[in-house]
Structure 1
């Protein structure tokens, strides 16, 4: 969809014309969601008194193979978020969207099972500036980048963050097949690569590589 906006911008936007939203930022963060995992997996351990744990492997695949669009809250988020990609609507190119890779490093704020990663976005409705980067500063918070606006009163922001009121877009969660037990301050680091599918331009391939507790993991999924 964004590719269509870029094409329309390049063909028809007049000098001084406006694009709304004017920018977008994609975030990610590790999450815990015990109730969701239990409802999808642990249910099979006792189905009305019958042990159907032989279904666990299939249940995990069916429930967590693909990303899930659902609503979580700030209580599910284990760390400060990481900025995966910032997009300026006036300057972004289609080639930039074909593949996005970002390295991340998180420190868990609590002891909890890590069930996966959540993704969400903010969009801003603002007039363009001569130097867009001068309006938005980045600062380091616990190893992750967050966006800080120098004058919030001048910018209208639509946020789909877990701590904000729910929206139509909710959040996108990539669940692990098996949770990782985290201790407080335990490090989770790795990289995420988002690649536009060659089969369907509206599909997104999500490749996650991450390590924690001296163990390495890989999760591949497709956002359809």
Structure 2
């Protein structure tokens, strides 16, 4: 593995004044009354998160090109930006000729977004609104919008459950012939060799200064790791797990189980499965794709790695069968639960197992 793995839990950042249910509250009261869901929104008020996303050129340029290279779709249209952050996507839309842009975010980043929009002399087009999409109405009596844009994707595509909000916004506000930016999303899986990293992060617990801490190894195995995978580690082809049509997807579709079939490209060992995603802007004049594949350029989403309890020796052409199941967390729907089944019978080894993972 390259670099250092990320924790999937977002650190909460508390500004001097916080908003709770739309009302300003003092630090002590906010700290006392906030739930885990409130901390989710509060964390996105911190500039560092937005700096990381804006510096992700793969991400940001894909959205810029979707607007800048497709002005024929944007001219004179009403655009809704869900989870607007600093307002960058809203400003792309305004510069591409949108008649009106409504930019919504629940976190206190909206105060910065309003100033940024004003500083760029786009405040006559872009209106920044603070609140939860599920709890507000659009101003100016607006009932329908022509385009909904959002960078809603989380780690392993569905972490943080922002797709729920996009579905709600689509069903409430998107015009019958409206456009979703992006409008398709796919999740993929492959297998990798990763002996050194697994020894350092997983098997290290077997002997810690002479003590058996295998109990902690079990915890480490149950959490997928978000990190950058070197393309040279990939041992198999990749298999699509799910293809999401953003015009039709429902919240229920987030719970799914799908069989996969991976074919080894060389003689090697398999230590982990890797999941990544791509999204497409298919309504553009020429399809624009944003991908987080380990064989493509770096993005802040990196990839999601699921370490197997046992390594597998596999020969070129041998097949690894399995099932990958995903569901929202039982305690918090922004989390993800995974069940991964492996069925492998090869010349030098076999494995029939099931492992559960929790992304928190």
Q: TM bucket by the smaller chain?
A: 0.7 to 0.9
Q: In the alignment, does 2:237 pair up with 1:80?
A: yes
Q: 1:196 matched to which residue of 2?
A: 328
Distance (Å, rounded) in 2 between the aligned partners of 1:87 and 1:115: 28
Q: Note the C-alpha offset of 1:60.
A: 2.6
What's the TM-score once normalised by structure 2's chain length?
Answer: 0.51
Q: 2:84 matched to which residue of 1?
A: none
Higher relative contact order (CA closer than 8 Å, sequence separation 6+): 1
44 and 199 in structure 1: CA distance in 2 versus 1, 3 angstrom threshold: closer
Q: 1:65 matched to which residue of 2?
A: 222
Distance (Å, rounded) in 1 between the aligned partners of 2:307 and 2:273: 7
Q: In the alignment, does 2:266 pair up with 1:172?
A: no
CA contact (8 A) 2:203 2:217 kept: no
Distance (Å, rounded) in 1 between the aligned partners of 2:169 and 2:239: 30
59 and 95 in structure 1: CA distance in 2 versus 1, 3 angstrom threshold: closer
1:8 is aligned, of 152, 157, 169, to 169
Q: 2:193 matched to which residue of 1?
A: 32
CA contact (8 A) 1:68 1:173 kept: yes
Gaps of 5+ in 2: 1-161
Q: Note the C-alpha offset of 1:59.
A: 5.0
CA deviations over 1:164-197 (Å, ceiling 9, x no partner): 0110100011111232222222221021111122
204 and 45 in structure 1: CA distance in 2 versus 1, 3 angstrom threshold: closer
Trace 1:129-140 onto structure 2 (pairs within 5 A).
Answer: none
Which stretches of structure 1, 4 residues or longer, exceed 3 Å deviation after superposition?
41-47
**Between Structure 1 and Structure 2, how many residues are aligned?**
195
CA contact (8 A) 1:22 1:88 kept: yes
Q: Note the C-alpha offset of 1:91.
A: 1.4
Q: Note the C-alpha offset of 1:6.
A: 0.4
Q: Note the C-alpha offset of 1:104.
A: 1.1
Distance (Å, rounded) in 2 between the aligned partners of 1:59 and 1:210: 23
Q: In the alignment, does 2:256 pair up with 1:100?
A: yes
CA contact (8 A) 1:195 1:206 kept: yes
Larger radius of gyration: 2
Q: 1:141 matched to which residue of 2?
A: none
Q: 1:211 matched to which residue of 2?
A: 343
Q: In the alignment, does 2:359 pair up with 1:223?
A: yes
Greater fraction of residues in strand: 1
Q: In the alignment, does 2:279 pair up with 1:123?
A: yes
CA contact (8 A) 2:312 2:351 kept: no
What's the TM-score once normalised by structure 1's chain length?
Answer: 0.79
CA contact (8 A) 2:205 2:217 kept: no
CA contact (8 A) 1:40 1:59 kept: no
Distance (Å, rounded) in 2 between the aligned partners of 1:88 and 1:61: 36
32 and 59 in structure 1: CA distance in 2 versus 1, 3 angstrom threshold: farther
